Amino acid sequence: IYIKEVVLHNIRVSLKAPFTTSFGTMQTKDVCIVEVIDESGISGWGETVSSNEPYYNEETTYTAVYMLKDFLIPRIIQREISHPKEIHEMLSFVRRNQIAKAALETAVWDAFAKKNEKSLSEVLGGEKKEIAVGKSIGIQESPSQLVEKVRKYVDEGFKKIKVKIAPGADIEYIDAVRKEFSNIPLMADANSAYTLEHMEHLKKLDKYNLMMIEQPLAYDDIIDHAILQKNMSTPICLDESIHSYEDALKAIELGSCRIINIKIGRVGGLQESIRIHNLCKEHNIPVWCGGMLETGIARAHNIHMTTLANFTLPGDTAPSSHYWEEDIVKPEITMNNGYIQVPSGLGIGYEIDNEKLKEISFQTVKINS
Ligand code: OSB
Ligand code: MG
């Protein structure tokens, strides 16, 4: 594939409702939609899954835009690329900045699939025709409010419920949900809110039969997580700590986790995601696809990636209506009884609403050299 031009569409989007985690509350975010155009005029789409603040990891939408413009796009434009799996290596001269890299790499995968008249899932080697979906619920004002939210989502058919926790909003909240729903697949995500000093406190979660606890300790740690995992029966799942195949390998060898959440943005693209997926499969570590409150473009990438065989646990891939009044993809992403049907059309399989994109773009930048 030969990329002739890249267009950066900078948009601002507002979630239907604020989303609170241990590191803050999100409501509005700027997203850079990356459109790559090949020599035959085929467009492929990606997006920066960051937010405006560097609280989840060190990147923001604008650090990503800067990396894309000054370093990443110039490296891949106006040259023949035989396969999108090469791009991760081509961009490795820039350290980290995975979200920026992934926005560009995923767009090329989409264009490549379209050029070869295949769906993205087919090109990735995925097998599933539908994927199971879970719901991630932000921190609520009270345990009883959380229970009502959980009830709503269980009734809608979600296959997994994830509850955000933080010190002061943890045991009581999980206890209230478990009392009401003794059998649902339930997990907690701490987004690095604890340290090993909380070990005895965290061990209280062991009696709630949680599927896992996600990233309880520091965002860059795999040592303390290994100590915690030895002392806890609940499986630990790593999110923030895993940026690469090498990180995953080290975490598995240390026993820092029994499950890994793969986010395409966090690991720098689909190729690195596939490598981590395959590594985890060899080590009997189940994986699932996390979410970053994305628009339909990155959520479509998530759906296609989840068709790979070792994505055995439901991901945080809720339908469009859970995030946006109106998504930028057509048709919007919908769920039926807890499953999303994988689109069989070319590439990501959803059309971009170009009218809407134009309407909400506050800056459009064309790069062709
Ligand atoms: O830790 O998985 C996380 C959202 C933003 C940043 C980090 C996380 C999340 C979510 C929401 O849990 C997942 C989603 O519904 O997209
Ligand atoms: Mg997480």
Q: Which of 235, 225, 304 is nearest to 264 (CA)?
A: 304
Regarding an ipTM greater than 0.95, the answer is yes
**pLDDT tens-digit profile of 202-216?**
999 999 999 999 999
CA of 356 to the centre of ligand 1 (A): 25
Residue 234 pLDDT grade (very low, low, confident, very high; cuts 50, 70, 90): very high
Residue 222 pLDDT grade (very low, low, confident, very high; cuts 50, 70, 90): very high
194: Cβ below 6 Å to ligand 1? no
Whether residue 106 is found in the same domain as residue 139: no
Q: pLDDT at position 126, please?
A: 97
For residues 285-305, give the mean pLDDT. 98
Domain harbouring 211, CATH code? 3.20.20.120
Give a yes or no: residue 158 inside a domain: yes
For residues 145-149, give the mean pLDDT. 98
Q: pLDDT at position 109, please?
A: 98
Whether residue 206 is found in the same domain as residue 319: yes
Whether residue 165 is found in the same domain as residue 95: no
216: Cβ below 6 Å to ligand 1? no
Is 148 buried (19+), middle (13-18) or exposed (0-12) by CB count in 10 A?
exposed
Whether residue 57 is found in the same domain as residue 183: no
Q: Which residues pair with 131 in a beta bridge?
A: 340
How many CB atoms are located within 10 Å of the residue 246 CB? 13
Percentage of residues in the chain with pLDDT exceeding 90?
100
Whether residue 356 is found in the same domain as residue 284: no
Q: pLDDT at position 119, please?
A: 98
Q: Looking at ligand 1, which residue's alpha carbon is closest to its atom 4?
A: 292
Domain harbouring 359, CATH code? 3.30.390.10
Whether residue 112 is found in the same domain as residue 146: no
CB 306 within 8 A of CB 263: no
Torsion (CA) 148, 155, 208, 323 in degrees, nearest 10: -70
Q: Looking at ligand 1, which residue's alpha carbon is closest to its atom 14?
A: 291
Whether residue 330 is found in the same domain as residue 356: no
Residue 201 pLDDT grade (very low, low, confident, very high; cuts 50, 70, 90): very high
Domains identified in the chain, total number: 2
Give a yes or no: residue 346 inside a domain: no
Residue 193 pLDDT grade (very low, low, confident, very high; cuts 50, 70, 90): very high
266/17 Cα distance (integer angstroms) = 24
Whether residue 74 is found in the same domain as residue 147: no
For a ligand 1 pocket test, name from 292, 320, 322, 324 the mutation site with the most ligand atoms within 8 angstroms of its C-beta.
292
Whether residue 215 is found in the same domain as residue 304: yes
Alpha helices in 139-241 (DSSP H): 143-156, 171-180, 199-203, 223-231
Is 214 annotated as a binding-site member? yes
For residues 265-278, give the mean pLDDT. 98
Residue 242 pLDDT grade (very low, low, confident, very high; cuts 50, 70, 90): very high
292: Cβ below 6 Å to ligand 1? yes
Radius of gyration of the chain (CA): 20
Q: pLDDT at position 39, please?
A: 96
Is 189 annotated as a binding-site member? yes
CA of 136 to the centre of ligand 1 (A): 7
Whether residue 187 is found in the same domain as residue 259: yes
Q: Domain span at residue 361?
A: 3-117+351-367
CA of 344 to the centre of ligand 2 (A): 29
Whether residue 281 is found in the same domain as residue 307: yes
Phi, psi of 69 (to 5 degrees): -65, -50
Q: Which atom of ligand 1 is nearest to the CA of 299?
A: 16
Average pLDDT, the chain: 97
Q: pLDDT at position 195, please?
A: 98
Give a yes or no: residue 291 inside a domain: yes
Ligand nearest the Cα of residue 19 is: 1
Whether residue 192 is found in the same domain as residue 43: no
